[in-house]
Amino acid sequence: MVYTTYAGEFPLQNGRPNVEVVIVSDAKAGGELIAGAMAELLRRKPDALLGVATGSTPLPIYQALAATVDAGGVDVSRARVAQLDEYVGLPAEHPESYRSVLRREVLEPLGLDLDAFMGPDGTAEDVRAACEAYDRALAEAGGVDLQLLGIGTDGHIGFNEPCSSLASRTRIKTLTEQTRVDNARFFEGDIEQVPHHVITQGIGTILEARHLVLLATGEGKADAVAATVEGPVAAVCPASALQLHPHATVVVDEGAASKLKLAEYFRHTYSNKPAWQGI
Ligand code: PGA
């Protein structure tokens, strides 16, 4: 079968595009869908390594997963959790270190303690060595089974800003002023308190996870989402690297889907796929 698009024709591969796009009604529905996939993974593999992201977008996922756990729907007691990125120079116990944020938003609601958690050491004197150590630790842990991702309005994933190498490994990045301004909301509105540097898993590192699941909500993300799934694979839109991955899922609400030229095609394929396939 051949599907005709604005860009011409391309053959359908197994009835769906390489990057599966699922359009949901709202953020809550997206959170429930993704939490369902995480629960399904944990039933198959109770000690799965879950890659988690910070930011506002993934919160409905964590809430839905915690609700499933509370209702006895899945046992997460053996789950492991890996961090995507971290500020450099913030003490680990600082309330806005991503380790602290993830402890509050993910570990505690799921009843997991810090033994289940791994992340880069943002306080290390030798940051480069800390980055290399984290890449090694992820590999030694067997690799990430399911990596959650948000997306920046500029197409960043993790803190891989535009023009990050698509082969990049975990490394230090300097935050743009815009990102520091955006994140000042977590630091009493005071940009001076926002660190200049972060450690982020590289795009090459992220691509090693077995399943990538990106959630984007709101019209503000619509251009970045369209560039990610319908644009070329290009470092200028780091999230477009998902097109290189054999199992990538992009879950979007109506706002974030609003610039997709293939929206009807995505709706059609998702509503007709076999239920057993999951996302
Ligand atoms: P947000 O951040 O979920 O707070 O929009 C996403 C990101 O910058 O990756």
Domains of the chain by range and CATH?
Answer: 21-270 (3.40.50.1360)
Q: Of the residues 32, 145, 161, 230, which is catalytic?
A: 161
Residue 55 CB less than 6 A away from ligand 1: yes
Q: 157 forms bridges with which residues in the sheet?
A: 160
Does the predicted model carry a pTM greater than 0.85?
Answer: yes
CB atoms inside a 10 Å sphere around CB 40:
14
The letter for the amino acid at 233 is: V
What is the distance in A from the centroid of ligand 1 to the CA of 110?
Answer: 22
Contact 27, 253 (CB under 8 A): yes
Q: Of the residues 40, 96, 132, 154, which is catalytic?
A: 154
Contact 151, 224 (CB under 8 A): yes
The letter for the amino acid at 73 is: G
| pLDDT tens by residue, the chain, 279 residues | 343 433 344 444 444 446 999 999 999 999 999 999 999 999 999 999 999 999 999 999 999 999 999 999 999 999 999 999 999 999 989 999 999 999 999 999 999 999 999 999 999 999 999 999 999 999 999 999 999 999 999 999 999 999 999 999 999 999 989 889 989 999 999 999 999 999 999 999 999 999 999 999 999 999 999 999 999 999 999 999 999 999 999 999 999 999 999 999 999 999 999 888 889
CB atoms inside a 10 Å sphere around CB 11:
7
Query: CA–CA separation, 269 vs 12, rounded Å?
Result: 10
Catalytic residue check, 70: no
Tokens representing residue 123 in the block: 């306080």
Which ligand 1 atom is the nearest neighbour of the CA of 220? 5
- Spell out where the chain has E strands: 2-5, 8-11, 19-23, 49-52, 80-83, 85-87, 117-118, 146-149, 171-174, 197-200, 211-216, 248-252
Nearest CA to ligand 1 atom 8: 152
Tokens representing residue 4 in the block: 């005709």
Which ligand 1 atom is the nearest neighbour of the CA of 55? 4
Query: CA–CA separation, 254 vs 274, rounded Å?
Result: 23
Query: CA–CA separation, 149 vs 53, rounded Å?
Result: 6
Residue 174 CB less than 6 A away from ligand 1: no
Look at residues 212, 93, 232, 71 and name the one whose alpha carbon lies nearest to residue 145.
212
What is the distance in A from the centroid of ligand 1 to the CA of 4?
Answer: 33
What is the distance in A from the centroid of ligand 1 to the CA of 213?
Answer: 14
The letter for the amino acid at 126 is: D
Q: Residue for token digits 């409905």?
A: 60
Catalytic residue check, 223: no
Which ligand 1 atom is the nearest neighbour of the CA of 58? 3
What is the distance in A from the centroid of ligand 1 to the CA of 55?
Answer: 5
Catalytic residue check, 85: yes
